[in-house]
Amino acid sequence: MRLSNIQIPRGTQDILPGVVEKWQFIEKKAKEICGKFQYKEIRTPIFEQTELFQRSVGDTTDIVQKEMYTFEDRGGRSLTLRPEGTAAVVRSYAENKMYGQAVQPVKLYYFGPMFRYERPQAGRYRQFVQFGIEAIGSDDPSIDAEVISLAMELYRELGLKKLRLVINSLGDSSSRKAHRDALIAHFKPSIGEFCGDCQQRLETNPLRILDCKKDRDHELMKTAPSILDYLNDESRSYFEKVKKHLTDMQIDFVVDPTLVRGLDYYNHTAFEIMSEAEGFGAITTLCGGGRYNGLVQDVGGPDQPGIGFALSIERLLSALDAEGVELPHEEAVDCYIIALGDEAMDYSMPLLQQLRREGFSAEKDYMGRKMKAQFKAAERLHAQHVLIIGEDELEKGLAVIKDLQTGEQKDVPLENIVSFLKREG
């Protein structure tokens, strides 16, 4: 009996050669920018104790309630594939006592797969890769502006132009409390007209009602109390300073008081970067982040403030596609060896080794092809030079080197191959 074909799990994707180069290019760019901004890489486990996400992302959020890949290990512990990166970074910060490090604030970045059991659609996967940064230990508004500017800088350097930065302030805990009470008073009398989720949210987390997709057109949504009217003086002045820094850095933004974000740990600055490219699709958020003072303490560390963002490479690639931006392709082969005859074949192995050690990307035929087919293979790989060695050439101690761009061809003594290729560049 033949088993039915096994397919890739829903909401995941294989990243194949030809596309993976784009991922590598983006990673390289992001790492370069992090270097300039002095963010250091951190790598944390793919799974964490489930409780970490319940406490940080929040028990009442969609992520924790509906989207986590949670399992029990053989020792009976509840573990969860990370749905996002911030919780783990903050856990690691507390556990490794990074608040005691000499260099403060602690500036970290990460790259890696995240897992959410969502309904797969364009731009929404069950496994996706986030690039994110976290700056922990400072509550100076300039670090908020720096974090936002790093994301904008990455997009700018990659060539994206049609972006919209949306910011909001969620205020400190007393502002949030005042706003929460106002939201409850606003929605309570008519909560029966809202979906079941919203009815639950009224008591647990009324701010999330503003983010409901089902009830977004309800009349009461438009008239809901704005957080900006409930910010106390300190929160308002903090927000003003963040905006001033952004303006001084010539980073355009719009303030949207309905931006609430889908995770519970935020306060003060919250932001998202959207793509405005035509044909980008329904989900336009490329990047999301914000401040999370209090989170370090929630996961067992001291009271240290923090701010960060995350963006997915999948959505970044869609935005590049939508704007027609081509990333440079750096994979061309410097030298393709065409060997004819057994002796030349044998000779080509140590030669390949030497070329590669000298820093060239070098390739040869492994399929027993005829000369013409080997030329074709070299062209397909966009080889810069082909190096032809046959019995005759070996006897004379020569190789023929042909530049595939100019068509120029030269006899080069075998011992001069490396220096010749180096001169040719």
% helix / strand / coil in the chain, to the nearest 5? 40, 20, 35
**Could you tell me how many residues make up the chain?**
425
Interface with ligand HAM, residue 348, by CB under 6 A: no
Interface with ligand HAM, residue 262, by CB under 6 A: yes
Q: Which is nearer to ligand HAM, 310 or 338 (CB)?
A: 310
> Which amino acid makes up residue 206?
P
Q: Which is nearer to ligand HAM, 12 or 353 (CB)?
A: 12
Q: Which is nearer to ligand HAM, 311 or 386 (CB)?
A: 311
Interface with ligand HAM, residue 164, by CB under 6 A: no
Q: Which is nearer to ligand HAM, 312 or 384 (CB)?
A: 312
Q: How far apart are CA 368 and CA 383, in angstroms?
A: 19
Nearest by Cα to 130 from 242, 30, 277, 2: 30
Q: Which is nearer to ligand HAM, 137 or 290 (CB)?
A: 290
Phi/psi at 234 (5° precision):
-65, -45
Contacting residue, 128, 271, 360, 375, with ligand HAM by CB under 6 A: 128
3-state SS class at 244: helix
Contacting residue, 269, 308, 352, 402, with ligand HAM by CB under 6 A: 308
How many amino acids of this chain bind ligand HAM (CB under 6 A)? 27
Nearest by Cα to 182 from 202, 196, 153: 202
Phi-psi map region of 281: left, alpha, beta (phi>0 left; psi -120 to 50 alpha): left
**Omega within 30 of 0 (cis) for the link into 328:** no
Q: Which is nearer to ligand HAM, 112 or 390 (CB)?
A: 112
Chain position carrying tokens 């003003």: 240
Which residue has its beta carbon closest to ligand HAM?
A: 308
Q: Minimal distance in Å, beta carbon 78 to ligand HAM?
A: 21
Considering only 31-39, 115-123, 157-165, 226-234, which stretch makes contact with ligand HAM by CB under 6 A?
A: 115-123
Interface with ligand HAM, residue 286, by CB under 6 A: yes
Contacting residue, 111, 194, 239, 309, with ligand HAM by CB under 6 A: 309
Q: Which residues contact 231 (CB under 8 A, 6 or more apart)?
A: 169, 171, 175, 239
Give the tokens for residue 275: 């793509």
Q: How far apart are CA 55 and CA 405, in angstroms?
A: 60
Which positions from 70 to 89 touch ligand HAM by CB under 6 A, shown as an x/- string?
A: --------------xxx---
Interface with ligand HAM, residue 105, by CB under 6 A: no
- Residues binding ligand HAM (CB under 6 A): 84-86, 116, 118, 123-125, 128, 130, 132, 134, 262-263, 285-290, 308-312, 314-315
